[in-house]
Amino acid sequence: MATWIAEGVVFSIFVYQLKKKRHRLLGGFPFLTRLKGLYTKRIFILGIPVAMLNTFFAVINLFMGRTATTHGGHLGLMTLTAGGQLEAIAWNTSQGFSTALSTFVAQNFAAGQKNRLKGAYHTTLLMTSVFGFLCTILFVFFGNEIFSLIIPEKEAYEAGGIFLRIDGYSMIFMMIEITIQGLFYGTGRTIPPAIISITFNSVRVPLAIILSSMLGVEGVWWAISITSMAKGIVSFIWFRTLQKRIF
């Protein structure tokens, strides 16, 4: 009920702002309008890869949850769920910087201001890398303490601490992936991030099965960490191959 009420309030505020203040916010265009073929096609071309990326991520997480439950029982599922929420704090924070980068890049890419693109990219990459490094320190060395803030049972927060330690090694790579993702989006290239994310997220399932057969539930955590590292590395290499076209 709390979720429903919160979503309803936020939706109402958005509608109010768009309807009552649209002249100031959006130049006066109507809240509802007919679809236009050219715009609709372009939105689908840009949006479908991103939608598939997020959909596959959600589906793959279900399979990861099953694998974690098989090898770790209720503690395995709890660790994956709560640990993923803690990881999301870092992910969502860096996603904010990535969104800002995407907006800035889109504006200046269209205007041909390549020097501004370089400056924005390097600044954002530095900021997210520093944040990723801090998250690595916190997760690797203080995983138990962080997990105990939300789950007080010793057995549970110790299991969660192991997850954060293993996942913490991939934080900087995750920040690199998210930063470059924003750069790609800003230049209208939504397909490369989708290919990278869908490919390596899909690899998580068989890799988790293989590693968990040798390491137990920790193999699932290593599968998540390794694939996150791979996504960051491949994203950076892919960007470097296209850098001259962008900058």
Q: Is the pLDDT of residue 32 over 80?
A: no
Average pLDDT over residues 185-210: 93
Does pLDDT of 171 surpass 60? yes
Helices (H), the chain: 2-20, 22-25, 37-110, 114-148, 154-168, 171-186, 191-215, 218-246
Say if residues 15 and 31 touch (Cβ distance below 8 Å): yes
What mean pLDDT, rounded, does the chain reach?
89
pLDDT over 90 (residue 76): yes
Write down the pLDDT at residue 17.
Answer: 78
pLDDT of residue 29: 59
What was the pLDDT predicted at 21? 67
Cα distances (Å, whole numbers) of residue 228 to 24, 75, 87, 205: 41, 23, 12, 13
pLDDT value of position 212: 94
* First vs last C-alpha separation in the chain: 49
Q: Which tens digit of pLDDT belongs to each residue from 37-65?
A: 888 888 888 899 989 988 998 899 999 99
User: How far out from the chain centre does Cα 136 lie?
Assistant: 16
From the CB of residue 29, how many other CB atoms can be counted at a distance below 10 Å? 9
Question: pTM, whole model, 2 decimals?
Answer: 0.87
Residue 22: pLDDT over 60:
no
DSSP 8-state class, residue 31:
S
b/e code 222-235 from CB counts within 10 Å (16+ = b): bbbbbbbbbbbebb
The residues, any chain, with a CB within 8 Å of residue 209's CB and separated by 6 or more, are 67
Average pLDDT over residues 202-223: 95
Distance between CA atoms of residues 72 and 161, nearest Å: 14
**Stronger pLDDT, 224 or 20, i.e. the higher one:** 224
Is the predicted pLDDT of residue 33 greater than 80, yes or no?
Answer: no
Residues 123-169 have pLDDT tens digits of 888 988 899 899 999 999 999 999 998 888 999 999 999 999 999 99
User: Closest by alpha carbon to 226, among 206, 246, 247?
Assistant: 206
Here the tokens at position 136 are: 């690595």
pLDDT tens digits, one per residue of 217-246:
999 999 999 999 999 999 999 998 888 777
Determine the Cα–Cα distance for residues 43 and 52; give it in Å rounded to an integer: 14
Residue % of the chain over a pLDDT of 70: 95
Residue 117 has pLDDT above 90, yes or no: no
